[in-house]
Chain A
Amino acid sequence: MSNMGDYKKTYDDFTWDKAKEILGYRDGDPINIGYYCTDRICEQGMGDKLALIWEGFTGEVEKYTFDELRVHSNTYADFLRSIGVKKGDRVCLFMDKIPDLYFSFLGILKLGAIAQPLFSAFGEEALFTRMEDAGTSVVLTTKKHFRKVRRIKDTLPALKHIVVVDNDTLNLQEIEMSFILKKATKIEKFDSYEADLETPSVLHYTSGTTGKPKGALHVHGSLLCQHISAKWALDLKADDIFWCTADPGWVTGTSYGIIGPWSLGITQVVYDGGFGSAKWYRILQDYGISVWYTAPTAIRLLMKDGTELVKKFDFKNLRYMCSVGEPLNPEAVVWGREAFGMPFYDTYWQTETGAIVITNFPNMEVRPGSMGKAFPGITAVVLDMKTHEVIEQPKKVGLIALKRGWPSMMREYWNNPKVYNSKFIGEWYITGDRSSIDEDGYFWFVGRDDDVINTGGHLVGPFEIESALIEHEAVAEAAAVGKPDPVNMEVVKAFVALKPGFEPSDDLELSIMNFIRKRLSPLAMPQEIEFMEKLPKTRSGKIMRRLLKAKEWGEEIGDTSTLEDD
């Protein structure tokens, strides 16, 4: 029996007051995510229950109870307060998936500051753009990554402290310090900041077609959505062992790798050892994972290694598997049945939505390739591309739109009200994704409505890549587009025109690839570079990125009448 029961009844009867009731929240009470994920679980008598089972890449294992999670997050909150962090300050987390990441995330929230997690593979430029925009005052990092911050610290006037959390033997310079949790005095009691539903909590950066990455700001009230969706969409139950494979540098890794499950008192496994089919199967087997939340890219990589490998392991506890990040292809859903005896349940949401908004539910028929149905409390429709009227006709493609006002909806793009406002048409939040809805209310994903590249489940902005490309000494002009890829859905392909004196070569291609990887991130690195004499442009001189993209996807090029003379 699933937690949610009958979908239609739950959806029809749902109100956000019911969500508050399920969470145990009363209007006017404080609602601090840090408290709800730790102290409250302990108050409910689960202090000795395991909260985190962590395995590192060398095979070392660490286990923490909810009481230890409470004390360690207290200790981080106290430390941050001691160095001057206040309510609303942005504290960046820039580290791999080590236990300190989880403790400090909750500690930041307990203090009332804003957690700003950044993917640890980001290069200096990607890091700078996001920290500068956020006015980050403190960054918590590790020996492996802190030099990237050191190299840009002088360009970040708001940055007051760089804190290394795993090593206190480094030769540290101005504003750099170390904090080692194991050596710190444990803080048994910390009064969490009395946040209300609208108090800012987490700032996640995401990419758009144009301009810089945007910081989607969430609030403590988002917990209502994360709590009930972890319960209903992920179907988490008290005895579950849950593994969310996402990195907390991205929103899945915080909403469902931290907040939702721990607010339910669920034991989570975190594996910081990278991808590998056999390694991942061993994690599923050895830790008795019962609910698994992963990504289509990983599933497709597992598929490549075949069902034979799967059959060598015993997943006796596994009962429910979900996927997020990009549309899950029907073959992957079917393969789940063949390999594990159950399908993967696709879930759909975005950084901006903060929690699952359209999904397949455990007791609902899975239609392979479909995104599922709207989550209770979410009014989801498709709008006509031109008129923006709601499309009533089944199977007609339009823009996925959500009626504004659900608790985990972003409250702003940091410092960017203009772009924030552009995401809404009247009462509708426009997701930027296109789909149709069938006669039974199932959504069927079609594609993005813009040039943002979805690679391995992560959105990468072409503008950011193009801006970095033209900083390479050989590049005169550049365009970046998504190219179809069987594993990652899309990968970045760059079109490049070189400056006089440079000739296309294998070495130059590799040099440009590595340049982008180091400046931005491995995700943004073009996996292919095509050298061109000049790039196609409009008469006003704008590079026609869409034309290049259409070519990669084998689509009609359309009206080229505004092309520059060729």
Chain B
Amino acid sequence: MDELEKAILEYVIEEYIEEEDEDEIDMESPLISSGIVDSFSMVSLKTFLERKYKISIPDDKATPEKFDTVKNIAVVVRELTA
């Protein structure tokens, strides 16, 4: 896990996961399809990423599929910061 993935995972755990369940999530855990993050909650996650990494994530990259795991989200952020 690189620094980017670590930072996103930490944010997801902090904001979306119950403290007792923290050990059950990793960078490949499904977020959207499991209901941990729903389509409305995605907005705050997207806002966090845009602010922290000073990027603008277009709609076609902020899809449920592309935001479904921390690993996938990191791919999107890497593309936009490259």
Contacts and interface: CB of A to CB of B under 8 A. Distances in A.
A514 interface: yes
B40 A274 contact: no
A527 interface: yes
Contacts of A506: 51
Nearest to B65: A276
Interface in A498-515: 506-507, 509-510, 513-514
Given A147-B18, A510-B51, A522-B38, A276 B33 contact: yes
A513 B64 CA distance: 20
Contact of A274 (B15, B32, B44, B59): B32
Contacts of A144: 18, 21, 35
Interface in A55-85: 57-58
Contacts of B33: 57, 273-274, 276, 279
Contacts of A510: 44, 47-48, 51
B48 A278 contact: no
A513 B44 contact: yes
Interface residues on B, range: 20 to 34
Nearest to B35: A96
B55 interface: no
- B interface SS class: loop
Nearest to A171: B20
B25 to A, nearest CB: 12
A525 B37 CA distance: 13
Interface string B3-44: 000000000000100101100000000101111001111011
A523 interface: yes
A120 B41 CA distance: 13
A506 B63 CA distance: 23
Interface core residue of B30, B39, B63 (most chain A CB under 10 Å): B39
A183 interface: no
A274 B15 CA distance: 19
A426 to B, nearest CB: 39
Contacts of A456: 39-40
Contacts of B34: 57, 274
Contacts of B20: 147
A121 interface: yes
A327 B30 CA distance: 32
Nearest to A505: B51
Nearest to A512: B44
Contacts of B65: 276, 278-279
Interface of B: 15, 18, 20-21, 30, 32-35, 38-41, 43-44, 47-48, 51, 59, 63-65, 68
Given A57-B30, A276-B32, A301-B39, 9 more contacts: A96-B35, A121-B35, A507-B51, A510-B48, A513-B43, A517-B44, A521-B40, A522-B38, A525-B44
